[in-house]
């Protein structure tokens, strides 16, 4: 079973930047759609950004567009989330997710992903 491990979450001031990493236990990025989600207390888990398995096409939620950027390094089996201009509303547990890649609609829903990491806490102070 493929395992995903996130890291990089910490306390950061508003306006600052942070980069999260997600490492897969085996070659995954070249055959899986990868995504980042986040969840705050009292709220449902929401989509943040995704990257396609084959083309590398990236897409993101409107709430983070222009601020957050997803990327990957297939050789390192690692996907990244670069977060800039952080706001207190970005405070959440951030999760890495994966699903076997296939053509179709860009996956944005939690139920479309099969594999999940344990999450990493990001806290943005005001």
pLDDT in tens, 38-87: 999 999 999 999 999 999 999 999 999 999 999 999 999 999 999 999 99
Q: Does pLDDT of 30 surpass 90?
A: no
Q: Which pLDDT score is estimated for 59? A: 97
Residue carrying the six token digits 């899986």:
32
DSSP, collapsed to helix, strand or coil, labels residue 83 as strand
Residue carrying the six token digits 């890291």:
7
Q: Which pLDDT score is estimated for 21? A: 98
CA distance 21 to 19: 7
Q: Which pLDDT score is estimated for 103? A: 85
In sequence order, the 6+-apart residues with CB closer than 8 A to the CB of 105 are: none
Residue 77 in tokens: 């089996």
């Amino acid at each position: 079973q493929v395992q995903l491990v996130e890291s990089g979450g910490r306390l950061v001031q508003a306006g600052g930047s942070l980069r999260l990493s997600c490492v897969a236990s085996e070659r995954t990025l070249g055959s899986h759609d990868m995504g980042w989600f986040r969840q705050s207390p009292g709220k449902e888990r929401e989509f943040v950004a995704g990257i396609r398995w084959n083309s590398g096409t990236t897409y993101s939620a409107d709430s983070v567009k222009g601020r957050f950027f997803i990327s990957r390094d297939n050789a390192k089996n690692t996907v990244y989330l670069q977060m800039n201009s952080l706001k207190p509303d970005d405070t959440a547990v951030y999760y890495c997710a994966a699903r076997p890649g296939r053509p179709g609609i860009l996956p944005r829903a939690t139920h479309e992903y099969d594999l999940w990491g344990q999450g990493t806490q990001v806290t943005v102070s005001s």
